[in-house]
Structure 1
């Protein structure tokens, strides 16, 4: 009988311990799932939940504030997420806050992250729907990383081939690195370039000295650049030279016109200079005039000895003597 009581007590103790463990587990799970705290319901609609499940956590500013309550289809092909969020945290969540899907660590469970919101917007209320923002697609990210890895391998192979050719002396770079003659020529070219640089520097210094000398007072160039009176006189001289050039041009035009007229036969001078027939006629006329003048002189001399005029000439000779 005593043994039976002892067994009964032991069974009771184990049952009590089991009940305590069960209650503690329920309380723990309920605490994690926010089952025993006052909460509000918030919603968000996504095109793809990327494996999110009921019971996954909801985070805000790095703090767990709730869990995913329901997941169901919405509209044609979207998914609506209903979340239980602690009432005490709603004062920090604004109506213009956004919800996105993230991961709890690199390969952890999917979670809902609430972020953003401005102080000008009112706080959320039970049943509000937050603006959703699609997260980065990890599959596409992995595909991009894989493609980048393939490209990196291809680049590495190309570099391997290129460095091998350079080491074997192929191409210009390989020849420069392996051919001593080219290296010597390159060294000589660098020496020539250095000499050229020295000469260029010296020429620049000479130009600087020349510029400094030209900027000294009393120098013609300095006076031309700074003296307004000299500049005015120079400008006036240029104007006078321009006027002289214009006059010379006009005179040249007039001389050309006169020359053209002298070369033409439509005027007296031009006829005298250019008409051969007229010249011959004029020469003949001059010869005839000369002959007539000689005949006239002879006639006048003979007239002195004719008896009607003899007495008159004698009187004229006496008067002259």
Structure 2
């Protein structure tokens, strides 16, 4: 019996020693996780919203845990200050321009603080320094945005369904789509448009060549627009025409004065009524003589001695007119 009691006491002592060892190991691991057994560097960061962040959550730099959250204090209605405890050995890698932001450990993990190095040189962070922060979009804001997007999507889907229903009820559209001749007509229209475009390109090329020739003085138009000698001749002709018009104006003025002041044949013709009457009688006698001469010629044409001559003359005149008509038609073609 004494041996059995001693064995039980030994076993109990071993169990107590092992339990105490396990407890010490757990405490050591927890203390190491919370930076209880190594020197730490306290820093601060101010946020507007720290939803989900609790004391003891991790602080990470480049995905590596470099400290923990010590406590969270409300400074005012828009500022929440987070005190962090960083490992002393990461101080050379955390600069004063390092940006602190609130994130999550994975998709649905604990809320953590991420430290992101900013570009540009800066001194290493010191104890009680305040790091700049960057506010992340919260889950509530993303859900609100998603709700608005869903409402917009519902509106777009409703509009598309209405358009689809109208298209399904449109007989004209389905007749247009089922028309087998439509592709051929569209192809012909495209070919016509291509041909018209080619003609326009050719016309543009011709115009370009014409304008280039005009600039270079080629062709009649280029000669007219660029030849300085021709321009001088045109100016000389214009001056001569102006002199001729001045001479004509002077002549007309002289005739006007002659008529107004008397003298000369023109004044007699315009003002002498007796001379005008004699002139009208002479013209009447000439007209009567012309009528009688025409009658005499008609009588000679019916004379049997001269009838053959006039017929041959008429035939020659007819042939001449027909030949002129054929030449005119050939020139027209």
Which TM-score bucket, shorter chain as reference?
Answer: 0.5 to 0.7
| Structure 1 runs not aligned, ≥5 long | 285-321
Say if 1:96 and 1:212 are closer, same or farther in 2 by CA, change over 3 A: closer
Say if 1:214 and 1:230 are closer, same or farther in 2 by CA, change over 3 A: closer
Report the TM-score, using the length of structure 1 for normalisation.
Answer: 0.67
Task: Identify the residue that residue 234 of structure 2 maps to in structure 1.
Answer: 241
CA displacement at 1:212 relative to structure 2: 11
Correspondence for 2:187 among 187, 191, 194:
191
Root-mean-square deviation over aligned CA pairs: 4.1
CA displacement at 1:46 relative to structure 2: 1.1
Task: Identify the residue that residue 310 of structure 1 maps to in structure 2.
Answer: none
Task: Identify the residue that residue 66 of structure 1 maps to in structure 2.
Answer: 67
Contact 1:94 1:119 in 2 (8 A): no
CA displacement at 1:78 relative to structure 2: 0.9
CA displacement at 1:124 relative to structure 2: 0.8
Task: Identify the residue that residue 153 of structure 1 maps to in structure 2.
Answer: 154
Report the TM-score, using the length of structure 2 for normalisation.
Answer: 0.65
Aligned pairs, number: 265
Write the distance in 1 (CA, Å) between the matches of 2:52 and 2:255: 111
Contact 2:93 2:124 in 1 (8 A): yes
Task: Identify the residue that residue 200 of structure 1 maps to in structure 2.
Answer: 196
Q: Secondary structure at the match of 2:11?
A: helix
Say if 1:118 and 1:259 are closer, same or farther in 2 by CA, change over 3 A: same
Which shifted more, 150-159 or 13-22? 150-159
Task: Identify the residue that residue 125 of structure 1 maps to in structure 2.
Answer: 126
Write the distance in 2 (CA, Å) between the matches of 1:105 and 1:263: 118
Query: Deviations for 1:169-222, whole angstroms, at most 9, x for unmatched residues?
Result: 35x6444224x3xx53x3343133144145336636865996899799xxx769
Q: Secondary structure at the match of 2:133?
A: strand
Query: Deviations for 1:119-160, whole angstroms, at most 9, x for unmatched residues?
Result: 521111111111112111221111111221232233233333
Write the distance in 2 (CA, Å) between the matches of 1:210 and 1:191: 28
Write the distance in 2 (CA, Å) between the matches of 1:163 and 1:80: 56
Write the distance in 1 (CA, Å) between the matches of 2:139 and 2:104: 10
Q: Secondary structure at the match of 1:101?
A: strand
Task: Identify the residue that residue 298 of structure 1 maps to in structure 2.
Answer: none
Task: Identify the residue that residue 304 of structure 1 maps to in structure 2.
Answer: none
